[in-house]
Structure 1
């Protein structure tokens, strides 16, 4: 068992920079990610490693999730201006990110505020 672990570590180390994550595929052994994103009556499925599903921008969405380690609570809002119109929208993400369970929900004052806060993730 120790010999197998050492062999795997050597193979992973030999991969070096060529194993960099591009959003479409990941390093060998990286866990597959499969998420469902919803708001209002809209639903999309997103897979990462490889990027796919019916999200209109899966590569960019996977890159965003990779930057925040799959935790939507870590998203940094953009700087767009939104009207002060109260029409609440609840965004949800659930599924798995690199083998970990993800369940996230946030209600925003309107769809503009949601788009500002979540970027490409909820652009569908």
Structure 2
């Protein structure tokens, strides 16, 4: 019986650490974002939220904007910025999940500035 107790003791700390490890492996939100301007190169990145991570350079701000709108960046609202009337159609694509809900979105904006004005930090990578 003592052998069972000795073997069980090391398992207790490992079990206590399993929850954060599981949370890190399976974030509540994980998306792949891409931006393709007609006159430019394709840019792609990954973003995770809850916990914040991925390769997105503005991950913290993007997650802060996405959380109150439940991952629907179209509800973020338009930023008060001035964009030129340059015509450079820019396709934005977002695919992944937000709190176990699949999200798949694609839209073309008139230029990269208009894209950022409508999507905040989400597509600013």
TM-score of the superposition, structure 2-length normalised? 0.72
Q: Deviation per CA, 1:3-61, whole angstroms, max 9, x where unpaired?
A: xxxxxxxxxxxxxxxxxxxxxxxxxxxx6211001101100100111100000121111
- Secondary structure, counterpart of 1:66 in structure 2: helix
The Cα offsets for residues 87-108 of structure 1, whole Å up to 9 and x where unpaired, read as: 1001111100011000111110
Question: Could you say which residue in structure 2 is the equivalent of 1:71?
Answer: 72
Partner residue of 1:101?
Answer: 102
What is the DSSP-based 3-state SS (H/G/I as helix, E as strand, rest coil) of the residue aligned with 2:78?
A: coil
Stretches of structure 2 lacking an aligned partner (at least 5 in a row): 1-26, 37-41
Task: Give the structure 1 partner of residue 54 of structure 2.
Answer: 53
Query: How well do the aligned residues superpose, as a CA RMSD in angstroms?
Result: 1.1
The number of residue pairs the alignment matches comes to 94
Selected match of 2:29 from 10, 33, 51: 33
Question: CA shift at 1:109, angstroms?
Answer: 0.4
* Gap runs ≥5 in structure 1: 1-30
* SS across alignment from 2:120: helix
Contact 1:72 1:104 in 2 (8 A): no
Offset at 1:75? 2.4
- Cα distance in 1 for residues equivalent to 2:76 and 2:104: 15
* 3-state SS in 1 of match to 2:32: strand
Q: Which residue in 2 is equivalent to 1:82?
A: 83
Runs of 4+ residues deviating >2 angstroms: none
TM-score normalised by length of structure 1: 0.72
